Amino acid sequence: MHVASLKDIKNGKVTDAYFFRTLEILKTKKIKKHVKAEFIAKNLPCDWQWGVLAGIEECAELLKDLKVSVRSMREGTIFRPYQPVMEIEGEYTDFGIYETALLGFLCQASGIATRAARCKKAAGMRGVISFGARRMHPSIAPMIERNAYIGGCDGVATLKAADLIGEKATGTMPHTLIIIMGDSTSASKAFDEVIDRNVNRIALVDTFGDEKFEALNVARALGDNLFGVRLDTPGSRRGDFYRILEEVRWELNLRGFNKIKLLVSGGIDEQEILKLNHFVDAYGVGTAISNASVVDFSMDIIEMDGVPVAKRGKMSGSKRVVRCPECLKSKIVPYSEGKINCECGGKTEDLLLPFIVNRSLKEPLPEAKEIRKYVLKQLEKFPLDKNIE
Ligand code: PCP
């Protein structure tokens, strides 16, 4: 398989060669520099106003064995452009070759978690299920879905990812089952007879016939056993999806099937969700999350032998990021700055906290469920696209 193992990563096999050459030069010239290097994103994809930090748990896996001290934002922290999300302190030659891998962990995971959070913010209490593993290399499916979950998705579709987050895999039924069984009603009946009763019965109603008639057929066939219907209407037939959903909802309600939920999938993202929320109870989101734009983090030295130094375009010196828990306004200040109160009168809290000290984690790593809760809590106060700062 064309993928690197954790052993490859730890052995620096996925490091850009020029970091190795830098190491070779410094070692040959016996140059030892004690540095602080910070990770920031100068901007976010698609004009996002905020990002969700993810990938920290995998960074810990790499950093915990090195002679470094690390300050980091908690995984799941909502951050802004230019805010340092992690800072490594130590001999540059002890961690420099891991820049490629550390950035890879943060950039992709944070893009996925942020897109998931945006979809969840748009959907509110409605369900958002990660359906996108099939769009990416299977070896990273657990990473994709774990970060979709901590970003706010209510469920994941693949077994390995479900194990990773300590949840049951979620899903409905594929078109394949309807094609093999002949129609939605036969497929739904078979599903109802065979599948564990704890699995919601969600019938797919767009394979052969019109969604509203298929939905009525399976509703009459399964009665109270039917939890919901999924519409994955092909693009060529999708037309005005809002009106199709309105019709399906109307026809089901007219015949007393008010409890039956409507789920949609196929080309769904936060904008589609905002359009369809009036009728939809849950969304299956694939490509928009699994193929989310990466967050363009970079790692740069900002202090050397205790002296602030940075390349052009970067602010030198070690920093703190403080945020007011009341109004969630945040600020970047020099590390040496004293207590900071928020203009709203609130006491600010530090977001960049000691994470690894003397080769050990300051605190045990949080479970995925806990990180998700933390993200959802913050999301209550962060609008989708308006800047509250
Ligand atoms: C797809 C499948 C994916 C959905 C759509 C994600 O339907 O259900 O999970 O789509 P997206 O990437 O556009 O968000 P099909 O390809 O019809 O597959 P199936 O019959 O297996 O449901």
Query: Distance, CA 233 to ligand 1 centroid (Å)?
Result: 10
Cα→Cα distances 199→177, 225, 265, 280, 281, Å: 16, 11, 19, 20, 17
Distance 264 CA to ligand 1 centre (A): 10
CB 353 within 8 Å of CB 362: yes
**pLDDT value at position 388?**
59
Examine residue 371 and state whether it is found in any structural domain, yes or no. Answer: yes
Average pLDDT over residues 81-98: 97
Prediction pTM value: 0.96
Residue 233 shares a structural domain with residue 300: no
Distance, CA 5 to ligand 1 centroid (Å)?
29
Question: What one-character DSSP code corresponds to residue 225?
Answer: G
* Closest residue by CA, ligand 1 atom 16: 266
Domain CATH number, residue 96: 3.20.140.10
φ/ψ (deg, to 5) at 241? -60, -35
Same domain assignment for residues 311 and 261:
no
- Residue 122 included in any domain: no
Q: Whose CA is nearest to atom 19 of ligand 1?
A: 174
pLDDT given for residue 206 in this prediction: 98
Among the candidates 265, 281, 314, a domain finishes at 265
Domain for residue 273, yes or no? no
Residues 8-59: tens digit of each pLDDT: 999 999 999 999 999 999 999 999 999 999 999 999 999 999 999 999 999 9
State the chain's mean pLDDT as an integer: 96
User: Considering only 70-79, 228-237, 298-307, 377-386, which range has the smallest mean pLDDT?
Assistant: 377-386
Say yes or no to pLDDT of 387 above 80: no
What Å distances lie between residue 217 and 179, 181, 281, 329, CA to CA?
16, 15, 20, 52
For residue 389, pLDDT over 80 is answered with no
Task: Give yes or no for residue 286 CB within 6 A of ligand 1.
Answer: yes
Q: What CATH number does residue 235 fall under?
A: 3.20.20.70
**Residue 260 domain flag:** yes
In a domain, 335, yes or no: yes
What is the pLDDT at residue 345?
Answer: 87
Asked whether 175 lines ligand 1 (CB < 6 A), one says yes
Clarify whether residues 305 and 371 are in a common domain: yes
Q: Is the pLDDT of residue 273 over 90?
A: yes
* Pair 206, 297 in one domain: no
pLDDT at 100: 98
State which ligand 1 atom lies nearest to the alpha carbon of 267.
13
Instruction: Please indicate whether residue 171, judged by its CB atom, sits closer than 6 Å to ligand 1.
Output: no
In the chain, the number of structural domains is 2
Domain end residue (candidates: 250, 265, 280): 265
Residue 94 CB neighbour total at 10 angstroms: 15
For ligand 1, whether the C-beta of 238 sits within 6 Å is no
Residue nearest ligand 1's atom 9 by CA: 131
d(CA 338, CA 214): 65
**Section 270-278 average pLDDT:** 97
Assigned domain for 67 exists: yes
- The whole domain housing 223 covers 171-265
What pLDDT digit, counting tens, does each position of 102-116 carry? 999 999 999 999 999
Residue 261 and residue 305 in one domain: no
Tell me the pLDDT band of 386, cut-offs 50, 70 and 90.
low
Last residue of one domain, picked from the residues 265, 280, 309: 265
Q: Determine if ligand 1 sits within 6 Å of the CB of residue 245.
A: no
Distance 262 CA to ligand 1 centre (A): 16
Q: Do 300 and 235 belong to one domain? A: no
